[in-house]
A = this chain, B = another copy of it.
């Protein structure tokens, strides 16, 4: 029997129930801006060695929680574990971000892809979830996550990051059937992956659709949104107070908030290019909202950070009938290595102070 949660504000916010304070966690809260993270990474030798070692993944997951009274932990891992387990060969070129040794470029390569076995090929992730959950000992909930089918496909087809997504967009135009086959197997894998993380102990789940916003509305509605909706509908996650909430985060997803809110997910995460006032008004209480401070605001002075945090809290309430219920505070995107941990402390305090 797992320990009861001492701080369940995050889960209550996702159920749109009243909270003691607006819960806050930060995308990439475990990361290079923390000297203790850099020390573990140096010992591990590489990012991937660290992510694939459940003890080290647990250690870096917990590091920010020792410094800041964050309201949730998020599994330390990479969004590209699934294609790596599919055999694409994930590696990190120094200073260049993730790359694949064997990108998939045509229908034949896509037809060979299968859903990895979660308890063998991705066992290191499930072991990390189990270890972290045990070590958290009920202090705060643990979030599991996955990349979205479209975002995984971007890396799988491009072979790494991209400025213009030329190769995958060409595939979308010239062989949409092949791309849908890829998105379909990715969706099956994401559903199995999130279900396995839930079974291993994850108490909330987030899908990162980092690159959905590079698409035109017509292409987003063909190649990203339907697969997010399928995850929200098909991922079995319990009922009532026991339900494991699912958050759909997307950079550039502001045009689609109504559709995301109708998907069946519990929370929608948004970036900072839309006000939470507008987002709350448009989603009308159907889902919780997560976000949305521009991460660059952490370069501001402590006073500026407090002002900006308050503005995000107030914006949400303005669009939510004056109530702060249903808001999980976060950044609109991940933290950067050159950010000051002291500024994170100011931000978390400002959110909790309201």
Interface pair A166/B338, CB less than 8 Å apart: yes
User: In angstroms, how far is the closest chain B Cβ from the Cβ of A125?
Assistant: 28
Q: Which residues does chain B contribute within 8 Å of A275, judged by CB atoms? A: 216-218
Q: Which residues does chain B contribute within 8 Å of A167, judged by CB atoms? A: 299
User: In angstroms, how far is the closest chain B Cβ from the Cβ of A70?
Assistant: 22
- The reply on A46 being an interface residue by CB < 8 A is no
Interface pair B217/A274, CB less than 8 Å apart: yes
User: In angstroms, how far is the closest chain B Cβ from the Cβ of A239?
Assistant: 37
Complex Cα distance, B297 from A49, in Å, reads 39
Complex Cα distance, B105 from A60, in Å, reads 35
Complex Cα distance, B219 from A174, in Å, reads 40
With contact pairs A299-B169, A336-B166 given, residues A174 and B273 touching in the complex (Cβ less than 8 Å): no
Complex Cα distance, B295 from A170, in Å, reads 11
User: In angstroms, how far is the closest chain B Cβ from the Cβ of A57?
Assistant: 26
Say what secondary structure dominates the interface of chain A: helix
Residue from B170, B216, B294, B296 within 8 A of A299 (CB atoms) = B170
Give the interface segment out of A112-120, A148-156, A300-308, A346-354. Answer: A300-308
Q: How many residues of A contact B (CB 8 A)?
A: 33
User: In angstroms, how far is the closest chain B Cβ from the Cβ of A34?
Assistant: 18
- The reply on A267 being an interface residue by CB < 8 A is no
Q: Scan A298-332; emit 1 where CB is below 8 A from any B CB, else 0.
A: 01110010001001000000000000000000000
Residue from B170, B254, B336 within 8 A of A296 (CB atoms) = B170
- The reply on A91 being an interface residue by CB < 8 A is no
A-B contact pairs, 27 of them (CB 8 A): A164-B336, A165-B296, A166-B296, A166-B336, A167-B299, A169-B294, A169-B297, A169-B299, A170-B296, A170-B299, A170-B300, A173-B299, A173-B301, A173-B304, A173-B308, A174-B301, A174-B304, A215-B273, A216-B273, A216-B275, A216-B294, A217-B273, A217-B274, A217-B275, A218-B275, A218-B311, A254-B255
A binding-site residues for B, Cβ under 8 Å:
164-167, 169-170, 173-174, 213, 215-219, 252, 254-255, 272-275, 294-297, 299-301, 304, 308, 311, 336, 338
